[in-house]
Chains A and B, each alone.
Chain A
Amino acid sequence: MPEGKYLAGEFFMSGDEACAEGAISAGCRFFAGYPITPATEIAERMSQRLPEVGGIHIQMEDELASLAAVLGASWGGVKAMTATSGPGFSLMMENIGLGLMTETPCVVVNMQRGDPSTGLPTLTGQGDMMQARWGSHGSYRIIALAPNSPQELYDLTIRAFNLSEKYRLPVLIMSESATAHMYEKVVIPPVSEIEITPRRKPTASPEEYLPYKPDSDLVPPMANAGDGYRFHTTGLTHDERGYPAMSAEAQDKLIRRLVEKIEKNRDKIIELDEDGIDDAEVVVCAYGIPSRVSFRAIERAREEGIKVGMLRLITVWPFPEDRIRQIAGQVKAFVMPEINYGQVVLEVERCTGGMAKTIPVPHMGGGVHTPELILDAIRQAVR
């Protein structure tokens, strides 16, 4: 790494640029993508920045190829990322499955826009949240982070890389057009202060190495191609040797482990931002850009004397089920603004188990909620 190529200090930058800088700070040295609004600026910045730090940017022929190349690069021993929006995210579903099955660390950024289909290319949305959770076929667990500012795009991109190496899977950053194109102050710490999770390398000899034999935390160490291990990896159901194993037993063992390596580490993965929940009657639950509008609505509700708390989901998947259950036992209602017809609110509703009301505040996309919309829902909740 050439000296002085890492930025450090205070910058005024867009969410897309901050995301790219977060990737550089995290050690990402490979980016493959296909232009799409509102994520294009990430690719543009990476195409400039990566060569400066000894990395590689390539523009692929589509998003199927982009994520395939990212997975290949990761197995080549390089931290890798791609960035897209809804239409490209749909094309990536196939290789998200391959990444999950082969346990390939990488980061996929989705700058959501109005949806479905080509939708509103330049305007904001949050309609891909359930696709993030379930979009690739099969039973699996995923990690998805939801930043609400350029600063958080920087910070969470680093965290996404760290989580992807620690748990060996594609980690999703589910942001949105509004944040991608928002310019704000971003503080970038000196590189020496950034915590980086290195790849877990095998300690066994090539003769003894079993590429899918997990450590006690259910995550197996990972050899890179060219390290001399001569390993095999496949998207088919496989045993600890990485060899295809076509049986219900092998399926049971593998799929349980892939799910449980996330489930058993929920507490370490889930990050929440809470305010005023202890004595609240109503809690606003939000992620991404609607959380910022919610702050204003909450302020005004408090001025009216309503006891209202804030639960901001920084990690959306895995979902903070236990915390929602706890809160449901002590409040009257959850109010949930989302820029979709109501997606993550279904999870909130599931977890409350009828103990508290859930009040969705849907916005179809193309803009963000007004604070009044959320305020009205808060008032309705205490009525």
Chain B
Amino acid sequence: MSKVTGDNEKHPLDAYLRTERLPHIWCPGCGCGLVLSCFIRSLLKSGLNLDKVAVVSGIGCTGRVAGYIRLDSFHTTHGRAIPFATGLKLANPELKVVVFSGDGDLVAIGGNHFIHAARRNIDITVLCVNNFIYGMTGGQLGPTTPLTARSTTTRMGSIEEPFNIPYLAAASGATYVARWTTAQVRRLEKAITEALLKKGFSLVEVISPCPTYYGRMNKQASGLDTMKYYRSNSVIKPDIDLKYADIKLNGQIVVGKFVDIERPSIPNL
């Protein structure tokens, strides 16, 4: 018979978290924590030596991951996580270097670094949490905000086409590209594990709720509403022409593993 003890309050992944820093900054219903726990489970499954794994983040709500995970971790400048990771990986090729950051960080201010890292095929893994908005600064338009979606800087709806991140990554030369939402945890975990073990530039895009800003302004009042939306609108289409994997406001979300190819990478030529 099991008794309820203080120990039951310990999370099985506590050993990999800087628990002394909890509670974290994320809002209730935010997807960031879920992606972090998927990432840790994937790390454990991958069999990588955790002393040789380094996490690099830029700035944003997602960027705070670097501060919660109990690994060598770097919280850098906005947009510069990928070039920082590039230097770290080249200096010590023994390391598995993972960039964990938001869509604004990675494809707006850091967009140039993103395409060039994919082009060079630098051997790093990039986890991009895409919540369609700038969370940290309070809900402004991001490079992924769907056309007509509202944000605090597009009150009448965005007039810009967003980036389709898997399409961008594949066109730039990434060797592994997958997209899942936070409603497909097992598939997401499998994708992250594969990405971690892939030689070359691997990217996993995670469509993730930001109830506080994106949800509230776009008719998904709670994190749960957003999860329901993901469940009923995700379609698995690994073979799709990525041009058609764009995401419209409250529209279909194409998910799957889209790219898994071999190509000489740096520094493993």
Question: Which residues of A pack against B, CB within 8 Å?
Answer: 29-30, 32, 56, 58, 60-62, 64-66, 68-78, 80, 94-95, 97-98, 102, 224-236, 243-244
B85 within 8 A of A: yes
CA A244 to CA B73, docked complex, whole Å: 13
B75 within 8 A of A: yes
Q: Is the CB of B84 within 8 A of A71?
A: yes
B51 within 8 A of A: yes
CA A231 to CA B53, docked complex, whole Å: 11
Q: Is the CB of B87 within 8 A of A72?
A: yes
Which secondary structure characterizes the binding site on chain A? Answer: mixed
The listed residue (B71, B80, B112) touching A230 by CB distance below 8 A is B71
Q: A75-B74, A243-B67 are in contact. Are A226 and B92 (CB under 8 A)?
A: yes
CA A244 to CA B63, docked complex, whole Å: 13
The listed residue (B85, B112, B116, B267) touching A72 by CB distance below 8 A is B85
Residues 53-73 of chain B, each 1 if its beta carbon lies under 8 Å from chain A, else 0:
010100000000011001111
A98 — which chain B residues lie within 8 A by C-beta? Answer: 76-77, 80
| Extra pairs beyond A58-B90, A225-B54, A232-B67 (19, CB < 8 Å) | A60-B83, A61-B113, A65-B113, A72-B56, A72-B87, A72-B89, A72-B91, A75-B74, A80-B87, A98-B77, A225-B95, A230-B51, A232-B74, A233-B75, A234-B66, A234-B75, A235-B76, A236-B75, A244-B75
CA A232 to CA B90, docked complex, whole Å: 20
The listed residue (A29, A61, A71, A231) touching B72 by CB distance below 8 A is A231
List CB contacts (< 8 Å) of B242-267 with chain A.
266-267
CA A347 to CA B113, docked complex, whole Å: 39
Q: Closest CB of chain A to B32's CB: distance in Å? A: 16
Q: Is the CB of A72 within 8 A of B84?
A: yes
List of 4 A-B pairs having minimum Cβ-Cβ separation, nearest first: A76-B91, A72-B87, A69-B87, A65-B83
Q: Is the CB of A226 within 8 A of B90?
A: no
Q: Is the CB of B86 within 8 A of A226?
A: no
B155 within 8 A of A: no
CA A231 to CA B55, docked complex, whole Å: 11
B168 within 8 A of A: no
B52 within 8 A of A: yes
Q: Is the CB of A30 within 8 A of B90?
A: yes
The listed residue (B82, B83, B91) touching A77 by CB distance below 8 A is B91
CA A74 to CA B112, docked complex, whole Å: 22
Residues 93-115 of chain B, each 1 if its beta carbon lies under 8 Å from chain A, else 0:
01100000000000000001100
B18 within 8 A of A: yes
**14 A-B residue contacts at CB 8 Å?**
A56-B90, A68-B84, A70-B87, A72-B89, A73-B91, A75-B91, A76-B87, A76-B88, A78-B92, A94-B80, A225-B74, A225-B95, A230-B50, A243-B20
B87 — which chain A residues lie within 8 A by C-beta? Answer: 30, 32, 68-74, 76, 80
CA A49 to CA B76, docked complex, whole Å: 30
The listed residue (A75, A97, A234) touching B67 by CB distance below 8 A is A234
Q: Closest CB of chain B to A205's CB: distance in Å? A: 14
Q: Is the CB of A233 within 8 A of B51?
A: no
Which residue on chain A has the smallest CB distance to residue B115? A61
Q: Closest CB of chain A to B123's CB: distance in Å? A: 13
The listed residue (A69, A224, A230) touching B83 by CB distance below 8 A is A69
Which residue on chain B has the smallest CB distance to residue A231? B72
Q: Is the CB of B91 within 8 A of A244?
A: no
A102 — which chain B residues lie within 8 A by C-beta? Answer: 74
B89 — which chain A residues lie within 8 A by C-beta? Answer: 72, 76
B10 within 8 A of A: no
B21 within 8 A of A: yes
Which residue on chain B has the smallest CB distance to residue A29? B91
Q: A68-B77, A95-B77, A229-B72 are in contact. Are A76 and B51 (CB under 8 A)?
A: no
Q: Is the CB of A228 within 8 A of B56?
A: no
Q: Is the CB of B21 within 8 A of A30?
A: no
CA A29 to CA B75, docked complex, whole Å: 24
B75 — which chain A residues lie within 8 A by C-beta? Answer: 232-236, 244
CA A233 to CA B76, docked complex, whole Å: 8
Q: Closest CB of chain B to A72's CB: distance in Å? A: 3
A73 — which chain B residues lie within 8 A by C-beta? Answer: 87-88, 90-91
Q: Closest CB of chain B to A76's CB: distance in Å? A: 3
Which residue on chain B has the smallest CB distance to residue A94? B77
The listed residue (A29, A56, A75) touching B267 by CB distance below 8 A is A56
Q: Is the CB of A228 within 8 A of B88?
A: no
Which residue on chain A has the smallest CB distance to residue B81? A68
B20 — which chain A residues lie within 8 A by C-beta? Answer: 243
Q: Closest CB of chain A to B10's CB: distance in Å? A: 19
Which residue on chain B has the smallest CB distance to residue A244? B67
B82 — which chain A residues lie within 8 A by C-beta? Answer: 65
A225 — which chain B residues lie within 8 A by C-beta? Answer: 54, 72, 74, 88, 92, 95
Residues 144-158 of chain B, each 1 if its beta carbon lies under 8 Å from chain A, else 0:
000000000000000
Q: Closest CB of chain B to A100's CB: distance in Å? A: 12
Q: Is the CB of A226 within 8 A of B116?
A: no
CA A65 to CA B80, docked complex, whole Å: 7
Q: Is the CB of B80 within 8 A of A228?
A: no
CA A224 to CA B91, docked complex, whole Å: 11
The listed residue (A56, A61, A233) touching B112 by CB distance below 8 A is A61
B85 — which chain A residues lie within 8 A by C-beta? Answer: 72
CA A236 to CA B73, docked complex, whole Å: 13
Residues 200-234 of chain B, each 1 if its beta carbon lies under 8 Å from chain A, else 0:
00000000000000000000000000000000000
B18 — which chain A residues lie within 8 A by C-beta? Answer: 232, 243
A243 — which chain B residues lie within 8 A by C-beta? Answer: 18, 20-21, 67
